[in-house]
Amino acid sequence: MNYYQYTAEDFAADDYFKEWVCSPTAESETFWRNFLRDYPERYYHVEEAKRLVRGLQHLNLTPDAAKSVHHIWWRIENTINGLETPIMAHPSHRWTPRLWLAAAIVIVGLGAGWVWWSSYDEHRTVSPLATPYVAVPEWVEAVNGADKTMLIQLSDGSIVQLEKNSRLKYPTEFSKIKREVYLVGGAFFDVQKNPNRPFLVFANGLVTRVLGTSFHVKAYQKDPNVTVAVKTGRVSVYADRPHPQQDPEVAGVVLTPNQKAVFHREEATISKLLVEAPALQLPPAEMAHLIFEAAPAKKVFEALEKAYGVEVLFDEEIIKNCTLTINLTDENLYQKLEVICKVLDASYKLIDGQIIIYSKEC
């Protein structure tokens, strides 16, 4: 099967693809994960096809309606298979199998909707003025092939700094329920806060969900990992793997400033770490709080925790008699930790985005 040539419509019409979306198995998960690894340029097409299949699945058809939709598919597929010569709709336009498949998607969607509406219409009373209208968003794709960052302002006021050799797909207007964009490459997001409409970034199998914050996403196709680093606020990241019984966000991690998540695409696992250069979260006026004279070690660690927004874990009983005279206003976080540990004859480790102090009694 030449899946590498498929469009979104082709995927959505494929039985094996539909089975994977609706009822994934270990075998199908492995197959499609390997496919996207080998043909990353099909990522957008696969994502669009998945949403189309799920949209048809969520129609909650009655048995009679389901039979009707199945019959529509049967007739379309037989028509396509029976095409021995191209059908000319106009001398300059050929109805290729791909166009037939695209038409099939539309016909099935309309057919399913008509069947459902017909069965529902018998049991409803609706005002003539209550006709629902759902706008279909128009999507655009920004591609940055220049040597400098491309600045993009989204419809909600959020700002995206799109890096070189990266592309972002986004709607001209976000829906009233959520804000979704698709990224391949690197970008910094400064998202407008809106508790009623979460902002989601889909990037090479990883979903980043925020309500309003700033963060950086690195998701280049050639890289085996996807990285999300938080500057301000809180970010939830999780694998883009829908599960019928479990919310995929439950299996993810929550990041705070100076933390990052690394998504290992091959294993679909997430690690939480500290960023390479943690930034101070204190305003300049409070920098004096990082100067200590004969201060309890506990107070110094608590000040570091507040200054960088990173949890510092230590044994209070062991260091209760330890004091420090030290100026921590200049060095970066890791240099500060080295100095403190040298004075206390201690050591530290970075585990799961936290700083763990291993010390001796003073």
- Residues, the chain, total? 362
Start-to-end Cα distance in the chain: 69
| pLDDT tens-digit map of 153-197 | 999 999 999 999 999 999 999 988 999 999 999 999 999 999 899
List, in order of start, the domains of the chain with CATH numbers: 3-121 (no CATH), 139-274 (2.60.120.1440), 284-358 (3.55.50.30)
Average pLDDT of the segment spanning 275-287: 85
Strand partners, 182: 169, 202
Q: Considering the entire predicted model, what is its pTM?
A: 0.61
Tokens 């095409």 -> residue? 83
pLDDT at residue 126 in the model:
41
pLDDT at residue 83 in the model:
45
CB 232 within 8 Å of CB 257? yes
Closest residue by Cα to residue 36 from 17, 55, 51: 17
| pLDDT tens-digit map of 93-107 | 444 444 445 555 555
Non-local CB neighbours of 336 within 8 Å, separated by 6+ positions = 304, 328
> Can you tell me the distance from the alpha carbon of 267 to that of 241, in angstroms, rounded to the nearest whole number?
12
Closest residue by Cα to residue 197 from 244, 157, 150: 157
